[in-house]
Amino acid sequence: METIKTMKEEISYKFNEEERQEILKRVLGDNKFSLFTYWDYRDKLSEEQILKIITEEDGLSDIEDEIYENNFDYIEDEILSIINQSLSEEEETDEELKEFLRDEIKYNWNFNFEDLFKNSSCRLRIDLETNEDFGFIPSMREKTGEYYKLLKQRFKGVITETDLNDEINEFVGSDYGKLSFFFKVSGENILKLREEYQKGQITLKKGLGCGLFNNYLGCGGILEIKTIKPIKLNIKNWTNKRNPEYNNGYYNLSLNLDKVSYGIQETYYLTEECWRELY
């Protein structure tokens, strides 16, 4: 430690690197339960933030940075308070030491994102479109049209033909609808869905709800179809290879917040039990 006298005989101190590290170790140890963001039960991620985390490669880090920026002033004040309470009079005179501690404490700050995720959830919808005729209900009622054939073929053993036909026959409000799976995702399942999505697939479990829905007009079928076994959906291009006649057919999978356009909840006012957790 170097002692420095100013012109007014005021004394300040300069601590070497080894001494700084010892001071840092002491400050971190004394305040290990303070370098922590406590989230109230009302604090939660927005649905838009959740969707970004799931679907964008850098979504998680972007939202973490956003949260940090939104809480920057609070964290800076907390760090300054910790430093002022932890340093001796000699240590307080070293401005470089305090700047060093600010940077290190900021680096060691625990944002406790786990609790923020625990508080958060959102309703999601997977819509399946095709490059064939887009869910033309009259042709589906006649059991013709490429969309109907592809649904029967690709979801054989996942949804029953009886349920699909009932959904088609009960469809009202438009001549067009698309198969939509609906569910909620919350807590650690947000990150699990992100991991699956980034790898290119989403696994839908047995018992999830789905049906024919038109989110542009807010109409559809009775949405009483349930998956009778799990299925994996490809994210970008789901080529149907079982029948050579449909080699060029594909499903375009779109993961959306349910509230986009006319959502299922806004249209049907489902009970919370209808929104099953994805995993």
Instruction: Identify the pLDDT of residue 253.
Output: 81
* 193 and 110 belong to one structural domain: no
Instruction: Identify the pLDDT of residue 131.
Output: 59
Residue-wise pLDDT tens digits, 48-103: 999 999 999 999 999 999 998 998 888 899 999 999 999 998 898 899 999 999 99
Residue-wise pLDDT tens digits, 135-175: 789 988 988 877 888 788 889 999 999 999 999 999 999 99
Widest CA span of the chain, in angstroms?
A: 98
* 155 and 244 belong to one structural domain: yes
Q: Does residue 279 lie within any of the structural domains?
A: no
Q: Does residue 266 lie within any of the structural domains?
A: yes
Instruction: Identify the pLDDT of residue 242.
Output: 46
For the full predicted model, state whether its pTM sits above 0.85. no
- Range 118-132 average pLDDT: 87
* 126 and 219 belong to one structural domain: yes
pLDDT band at 236 (very low <50, low <70, confident <90, very high): low
* 47 and 144 belong to one structural domain: no
* 134 and 38 belong to one structural domain: no
Q: Does residue 140 lie within any of the structural domains?
A: yes
Instruction: Identify the pLDDT of residue 8.
Output: 47
Domain closes at, from 118, 139, 170: 118
* 91 and 155 belong to one structural domain: no
Write out the two tokens for 211. 């049906």
Positive or negative torsion for Cα 29, 31, 34, 36: negative
Angstrom distance (rounded) from CA 179 to CA 177: 7
Instruction: Identify the pLDDT of residue 53.
Output: 98
Q: How many domains in the chain?
A: 2
* 169 and 87 belong to one structural domain: no
* 157 and 223 belong to one structural domain: yes
- Range 243-254 average pLDDT: 62
* 270 and 137 belong to one structural domain: yes
Q: Does residue 64 lie within any of the structural domains?
A: yes
What is the extent of the structural domain holding 187?
A: 122-274
Mean pLDDT over all residues of the chain? 88
Instruction: Identify the pLDDT of residue 148.
Output: 87
Angstrom distance (rounded) from CA 128 to CA 70: 36
Q: Does residue 8 lie within any of the structural domains?
A: yes
Domain closes at, from 71, 97, 118: 118
Domain closes at, from 83, 102, 118: 118
* 113 and 224 belong to one structural domain: no
* 146 and 267 belong to one structural domain: yes
* 113 and 132 belong to one structural domain: no
User: Residue 248: is its pLDDT beyond 60?
Assistant: no
